[in-house]
Amino acid sequence: MDGLRLPPLIEEALDSTDDPNDLKADSSPTDNEITAKERGILGENNEKEEMDQERSLEDEGEEKKLKDEEGEGLEKNRKEELTEEQELEELRSQMLQLLLELDEVRETSNKHQESFQELQGFLEDERLASAHQAEAFTRQIQNLQGIKTTQTTENN
């Protein structure tokens, strides 16, 4: 039982009685219920143990196959090393390609940033021009109102 352990109470119960049929006649009904539960758990655990033993036998068989194929594995390892080296070279070339693309994207980004800043400058110039024009219009309106006011006072 490598990976499976029973809870301590069940292990103690197993140690004290090997045969679950050796129950005392004067035991209470709750004791019988507990032992019935224990029997169910024991049955499950026995099944698990059998499955574990089967798995370990299968694993041992696989290990033997692997040892037999070890000679063939050395040749495969050499081929795998070559393919790993080829994969590394391919990854390096892809990385270089990506770095070149990154540089191109950075240059394009810088150009866009410069264009954006230039457009912001134009926008600010237009705002200033609009503000000056608005001031000029305001002065003209005030001048016209002043002329109109003086004309109405002269007429009266």
Structure letter (DSSP) for residue 26: T
What amino acid occupies position 56?
S
Please determine, for residue 40, whether its predicted confidence score (pLDDT) is greater than 90: no
pLDDT tens-digit map of 100-137: 999 999 999 999 999 999 999 999 999 999 999 999 99
What is the pLDDT, as a whole number, of residue 44? Answer: 78
C-alpha to C-alpha distance for 49 and 96, rounded to whole angstroms: 55
Q: How confident is the model at residue 50 (pLDDT cuts 50, 70, 90)?
A: confident
Contacts 24+ apart (CB under 8 A), 79-87: none
What is the pLDDT, as a whole number, of residue 21? Answer: 54
In the chain, where the domains are located: 1-68, 72-149
73, 74, 77 from 68: Cα distances, Å: 9, 11, 15
C-alpha to C-alpha distance for 40 and 46, rounded to whole angstroms: 10
What is the pLDDT, as a whole number, of residue 95? Answer: 97
45's CB contacts (< 8 A; 6+ apart) are 4, 6, 10
